[in-house]
Amino acid sequence: MQPLNEDGEPEKKKRALPKKEKSVLQGKLTKLAVQIGRAGTNRQSGDWVFSLVMSALTVIILITRFLIDTFWIQGLPWLQECVSIYVQFLVKFFIIGVTVLVVAVPEGLPLAVTISLAYSVKKMMKDNNLVRHLDACETMGNATAICSDKTGTLTMNRMTVVQAYIAGRHFKRVPEPDLIPTKILDLLILGIGVNCAYTTKIMPPEREGGLPRQVGNKTECALLGLSLDLNRDYQNVRNEIPEEKLFKVYTFNSVRKSMSTVLKNFDRSYRMFSKGAAEILLKKCCKILTASGEAKVFKPKDREHLVKNVIESMASEGLRTICLAYRDFPITDGEPDWDNEAEILTRLTCIAVVGIEDPVRPEVPEAIRKCQRAGITVRMVTGDNINTARAIATKCGILQPGDDFLCIEGKEFNQRIRNELGEIEQERIDKIWPKLRVLARSSPMDKHTLVKG
């Protein structure tokens, strides 16, 4: 049975609107308002006796204070001509008593909170921060920890290749093209041209004397800039091999931390170019190009030597290290299984390792110092090499010399916070969290776990 309305039609049930939860500040102020209301205007319970007593007591105290101060402490005599002045004071005290009795303090507090939050939103707008909800200002005000990415947040996100390991030599600055064997240089430029997104480009500066504009992925922009620094135009490669002629592209992801592009040659063989995190991609290399331009066997001890003397050296200076490699698939080996990425991305030949600089934003160190003085802990969460992350964190002021703080990789982080069954335990996170300052080589899931914990 449903009740009928005036037109004789069944009434539609009204949907219960979800009750909006109060923020922390609103909850505290509501509690304070109730307490003040009980001491001032206890109208909710209908008990006016306590309110009248408080109001009368206020008037009595004010009158008593006035009499003592005027006639006893100051010693002034009672004057008939001053009666009107005495009456004015009594009226003022009476008004204050009435105010205590009837003023609506509980209704005024939420309004004051809303106005203050709106003012905060306006101030944040001046800092180019768009706030959609007023409660966000309150949340920001209660923040005690900030987990920040590195690239583009702490750094300027304008990357440039400043060091390179090519043909068995470690160049502390971009080498002249004459110092690189032609075969290696041709492979390097071809690999950069086809194995960077075709939407990534280096554009002319907007005004004369300015820096070239980097459009697209900034790491790829740095590699394209290296091509130009070596007096080779990557666009010529792209004109010769347009994007639709690429046989297959393995796009970058956070698991393998590399990107690969496969080209099909005229003899139906294949050549794949890869780029990615240096210490990860080097493990997949079995050969390396030498000063003669030929490939030699890349043994584990050679890899350890390269990592220790080149990659760690670059990373300690805050450089992002990228390995560039390739692999040939001869026609005699048959058609490769392109879906088996683990097999495809092996037996590579290392072309070069480059160090990419991304300068720290000038305003970041001072901003972090202000956060630390305010009691806010700043943590860096990045996908970069741990040595690179540690160097940048030191430049920013997140890490100080002599501090006893944790600087770990995502793999170790997961091992520490998970039990034997692979489940995350809050107790384990609580042990790491207070001292953790840098989380390197972290995946998106690691970042989510850290913030959620």
> Which sequence positions are flagged as catalytic?
149
Q: What count of other Cβ atoms lies within 10 Å of the Cβ of residue 170?
A: 15
Q: What single letter denotes the amino acid at residue 238? A: R
127 vs 129: CA distance, rounded Å:
6
CB count in 10 Å sphere of residue 268? 8
As beta bridge partners, residue 169 has 166
Q: How far apart are CA 82 and CA 325, in angstroms?
A: 100
Record the tokens describing residue 184, joined without a space: 């290696």
Q: Are 156 and 359 in contact (CB under 8 A)?
A: yes
CB 359 within 8 A of CB 155: yes
Q: Token digits for 121?
A: 């939103």
Cβ-Cβ contacts under 8 Å for 132 (sequence gap 6 or more):
none
340: three-class secondary structure by DSSP: coil
Find the DSSP H helices in 103-233: 105-126, 135-141, 182-194, 218-229
Q: How far is CA 357 from the centre of its chain?
A: 19
d(CA 106, CA 243): 66
- Note whether 291 and 167 are within 8 A (CB): yes
Cα dist from 247 to 131, 220, 264, whole Å: 45, 20, 6
How would DSSP label each residue in 169-196? EEESSPPPGGGS-HHHHHHHHHHHHHSS
87 CB burial (10 A radius; 0-12, 13-18, 19+): exposed
